[in-house]
Structures are given as structure tokens and as C-alpha cells.
Structure 1
């Protein structure tokens, strides 16, 4: 199984290089941007797993992204993108 992952990764890397595309886009990896500690923008999520004012767990192909803070609010959400606001104290990947 590990061998298949390595082969898949090298194939995706070759495709990305061949077409001059970012590897994260080809591999469908999540893209995360933060504006200070007040806003977070995430592309390529697969849903929200848990939601409260102090913690939000978001499912992605790279694992679960956990945000902790205060007054966390889902500002906007589409099938693949979301924007959160509030005071973000911690962002971590939970495997």
C-alpha cells in the first residue's frame, strides 16, 4: 500500500511538472490562508466535522484541520471553500 502511495505521488508530481501546474492542485491537497489571527480561508475541504465558538474541526484530504480560539464563526461556505473569522489561537492537523 505504501508503494502505491509513493508511485501515485511521483505520477502526480510528473503530471504537475509536465503541465506546469502547482502540485497541490493536481493532488487535490487543501490550500489554507490566514489573515493575521482573525480570518482563515480554506480551499478543497470535504466538510465540517465539529463546530463551536471555541473549536472547529474541518475534514480535508490531508486530514482533519482543527481550529481553536474564541468567537469562531463560519462566515462563508461553498462545496469546496470556506471562510472563518474570530480570534484564532491555534491551527493544527489531527491525523
Structure 2
């Protein structure tokens, strides 16, 4: 119940203060450039990486990216830039 109330309060604050929801609600920001690059901000850690799959932990669930020829170009504590042929992007519930 408290979690639901907190989420409602965050949404209201984002709206009233004209802040981006991803900042206030701790949501990931995913930017895809064609099928060649994907930039993910606000993730909670790398779970799986191969040349065909990337799985990141999010505050709620996971992000799964499938394709081939993957190379991590940049990795920081909460940012990641992936290069390769991106074929699928899925949000997975916990």
C-alpha cells in the first residue's frame, strides 16, 4: 500500500514540477538509434552479456536485448552504450 502511495506522489510531483518522469520515478531511459546502437540510462546492473544477448537489472524487472555482434562501447554505474545488430528489446517483470 505504501509503495502504491509513493508512486502516486512521485507522478504528481513530476507533473506539478514539470520534471521528466524517468528522473522522479527512477525509470530507465532507453534510446535506440536504428538497429545499431542502444543507450540505456538508470539501470541497476549488468546481469548477462554475450555477443547475442544483454540483460540489465532495472528497479522493477529486467531489460532484455537480443541481436548479434554485440559490443559494449561504454559502461558506467548506471549507463550503458551497446553496439551491434539489435533485433528485440523486452521488458521482463520480476
* TM-score, normalised by the number of residues in structure 1: 0.90
Partner of 2:85: 87
Equivalent residue runs for 1:1-95 within 5 Å? 3-95=1-93
Q: Which moved more, 1:47-56 or 1:11-20?
A: 11-20
* Counterpart-to-counterpart distance in 2, 1:40 and 1:66: 12
Q: Which runs of structure 1 show a deviation greater than 6 angstroms over 4 or more consecutive aligned residues?
A: none
Q: Check conservation: 1:30, 1:62, Cα contact below 8 A.
A: no
* TM-score, normalised by the number of residues in structure 2: 0.91
* 3-state SS in 1 of match to 2:70: strand
Equivalent pairs counted in the alignment come to: 93
RMSD between aligned residues: 1.1
List runs of 5+ in structure 1 lacking aligned partners: none
* Counterpart-to-counterpart distance in 1, 2:44 and 2:21: 19
